[in-house]
Amino acid sequence: MAGKSNYLEGQYLTHELRTGSFTKPAGIFVALLTAAPSDAGGGTECTGGDYARVQCGPSDATWSAPSGTPRSSSNVGSVTFPTPSANWGSATHFGLYDAATGGNLLRWAALTTAKTINNGDPAPYFPAGTLVVTED
């Protein structure tokens, strides 16, 4: 199951139906999570050992044009995290945020397969086309 955060839903509705306008985030950052968030937020992000979110746009060069039914977009190139220098835990979900740290959760989804990430493992990555964001 994937989700669009309550924050993002509220921004869209304000933009579409009210007088406010939603400004596209300057950056979209992919995070690895060891516990599921909900549309209200939460979840547990990996930490320590050189962990950092990876910036992925927003740009046409980073995400594919929406297609299909329901509409979806995916990463155009590989999304590679830093090499872990400590155990990060078992990543079960990914989240898209509007900041490198903190910020607002925009969207989230479960990984197809959980991945335990330990000190000395190769840098975790998502091959092109594997981070799929579907409009729900």
Counting runs of H as helices and runs of E as strands, what totals does the chain give?
1, 10
CB-based burial label for 93 (10 Å; 0-12, 13-18, 19+): buried
Predicted TM-score (pTM) of the model is: 0.93
Q: What is the mean pLDDT of each run of 10 residues along the chain (136 residues)?
A: 83 90 93 95 95 96 94 96 98 97 95 96 97 86
- Pair 63, 76: CB distance under 8 Å: yes
100-111: string of b/e by CB count within 10 Å (b at 16+)? Answer: eeeeebbbbbeb
Cα of 105 vs its chain's centroid, Å: 8
- Pair 96, 28: CB distance under 8 Å: yes
Q: Look at residue 1 in the predicted model and tell me its pLDDT.
A: 43
What does the domain layout of the chain look like in residue ranges? 2-19+28-124
Q: Look at residue 135 in the predicted model and tell me its pLDDT.
A: 84
